[in-house]
Amino acid sequence: MPNDEFVSPDEVFSSSGEHSKKVRLRGTFEWAPPRKQWIFNLHPAQIKLRPMLEKQKYRCAGCGMKLDNKIYARRVRYCDYYGRFFCQCCHRGDKARIPARILQQWCFKEYPVCDLAFRFLREANGQPVFNLMAIDEKLYDRVKALRVVREQRVKLVYMWDYVRTCRWADEVVTKDGNLKTMFTSLPAHLLRETDVYSLADLITVYEGQLLNQLEPIVQYGRYHIEGCEHCRAQAFVCEWCNSEELLFPFQVEKVRRCAACGSLAHIKCVAKNRNGICPKCVRLEQRRIRLTRKSSSRTSLTSTNDDSSI
């Protein structure tokens, strides 16, 4: 492995000589440049200049330029995304929404950010990287708009399983367009996940646009699936009452889906049975036990026959 060395921000790189044989690391022992990455830590909106500059070794967080001169020190700008001070060459004063403030405070106010952060947030705006259940599931409790959108997304994901396999969905035309096209026009992660968002998604939730986009699709999807012979053939019946009513997993207002086996039941039927044990899970477990016993019996019989032949 080649040796590595730090490169001063003021040094001009040369491709010849001894330095070219070493791995060049941008930065010094006093300063390292920020990276394009998602930051979930919440930084103070206002921070004292001198203590932070001392922490930064009196260098710009972006380019490493020395800021010990009083004139330079007075002209630095604070980046709310990285939580560091930058020189005016690295921070032109652009503002952006901060992911950490959205996820922790549901705050969509724009704050000053350095040029690197501004470009990164703009370029990564559509990346679905925020799993709200993993980051903070209580965010749904605090924000009604997220709860309402999540309910629509749950329905949407279940409906897409029916629409994408329906032989007639391609021919269904609503007043807003082709049904299948309405689904596929959405970002792919909205059809696969219920809790994953991009920064752009969170903004549209806040502004009410995402809900307005999902509601008609869910409405048309439900109307088609509940009336389509092909889709109805893939419906469920209640595991508790076994009524003739066809159930679908997107009917979240009246059905409950077993997380273990995927079967459906009326919410009211589940509530009537105090033990709450899924009947299908019981049947599957009983079947597993029977198969295990049969397998053990066959193994024992084979072993006995082998012994007698000896």
User: What is the DSSP annotation of 221-269?
Assistant: HHHHHHH-HHHHTT-B--TTT--S--B-TT-TTTEEE-TTT--EEEHHH
Give the whole-angstrom CA distance, residue 236 versus residue 269.
15
Mean pLDDT of 232-244: 92
CA 241, 247, 248, 250 torsion-angle sign: negative
Give the whole-angstrom CA distance, residue 120 versus residue 117.
5
Token duo for residue 224: 């088609």
Predicted local confidence at residue 198, as pLDDT: 97
Q: Is the whole model's pTM more than 0.85, yes or no?
A: no
Assign a CATH topology to domain 31-124.
Herpes Virus-1 (3.30.40)
Which residues on neighbouring strands pair with residue 77, listed in sequence order? 86
pLDDT digits (tens, 9 = 90+) for 4-23: 444 455 443 333 444 434 43
Helices 144-163, 199-207: inter-axial angle, 10-degree rounding: 110
pLDDT, greater one: 75 or 212: 212
24 pLDDT higher than 80: no
Predicted local confidence at residue 271, as pLDDT: 87
Cα distances (Å, whole numbers) of residue 78 to 44, 110, 115: 10, 13, 11
Give the whole-angstrom CA distance, residue 115 versus residue 86.
9
Q: Which residues contact 4 (CB under 8 A, 6 or more apart)?
A: 22, 23, 24, 25
Mean pLDDT of 137-152: 96
310 pLDDT higher than 90: no
Chain-centroid distance of CA 132 in Å reads 6
